[in-house]
Amino acid sequence: MRQPLIVGNWKMNGTLAGVKKLASDIVTISQGLKDPPGMAVCPPFVYIQAVAEALRGSYIEVGAQDLCEMQGEGAFTGEVSGTMLKDIGCRYVIVAHSERRHGYGETDEWVAKKFLAAYQAKVTPILCVGELLEERESGSTEQVVGRQVRSVVDAVGIDVVASSVIAYEPVWAIGTGKTATAEQAQEVHHFIRKILTQYSTSVAEGLKILYGGSMKPSNASGLLAMPDIDGGLIGGASLKADDFVGICQAACGS
C-alpha cells in the first residue's frame, strides 16, 4: 500500500563534475531495476539544477537538504525558500536533519515553521526525527521522538502532515557505521505510527516512514522487510552509485 521510497542525502559533498557523474551513473545502473521504488537525491543547493538536468528523463527525483522558514523572497541573506526549490523542480526537502538540529540549533518550533513553509511551497517535507545515544541509553527514545513528531503535528495540523514523509534517524547511527537493528528500528517506526493514529488512522496508515542511519546494501533488506519501514534516507552509501542503487534494489517490489 505504501510504495517504498529511497532518498539520498548527499550532504556537503561533491564537485560540479562529480555530482553530474554520480547522478548519471545512478540513472544508468537503476535502469536494470525491476519494479523500482520511488527514488530521489538531495544534492547541495548549488548543484540541484545540474543534477536535475542529469536525471532528466529518468524517474529519479531531486530534492534539497534544507529550506528557509520564510516564504517567497526577501531580505534573508544566505537563505533559500521553498518557493525557489519548487521553481527549480525539487520534489522533496529534508527538514530537521539531526545535523541541523544538533549542529545549527534548530528547535522544534523552528522545524515546524520550515515544515509548513515546504508544504505551502508544494515541496514534500521529509521530517527527520531521532534520539541521541545518551537519550537511547537513558530510556528516553520514545519521549524524544514523540516530542519531535507531536510538536510538528500540533503546530501544522495532521492534514498538512498527511502530505509529508517522516524519517527516523537515530543520531548514534548516522555516519557511524552502527546501524539500528531491524527490530530496534521497527519498534520506533511503529511507535511513530501509533502517535499519528492518535490524530488520524488514515494518515497513520498512508504516511511513509523511512529509516536512516548507516543503511547500506548489506543491511537494507532486513530493515526494509519490517512492516513499518517504508524506505531509507541514505547518507554515506548514497555517494556511491552502486551502493545507492543496491539499496534501491533491496526495496524493489517490497
Q: Which residues bind ligand PGA (CB under 6 A)?
A: 9, 169, 174-175, 212-215, 233-237
Q: Which of 136, 169, 193 is nearest to 1 (CA)?
A: 193
100 versus 204: smaller Cβ distance to ligand PGA = 100
Which of these is catalytic: 61, 97, 99, 131? 97
The CB-of-8 to ligand PGA minimum distance in angstroms stands at 9
The CB-of-159 to ligand PGA minimum distance in angstroms stands at 27
Position of minimal CB gap to ligand PGA: 235
190 belongs to the catalytic site:
no
| C-alpha cell at position 252 | 524493489
Which residues, including other chains, have CB under 8 Å from residue 91's CB and lie 6 or more apart? 40, 61, 62, 63, 123, 124
The CB-of-75 to ligand PGA minimum distance in angstroms stands at 31
Cite the active site residues.
Answer: 97, 169
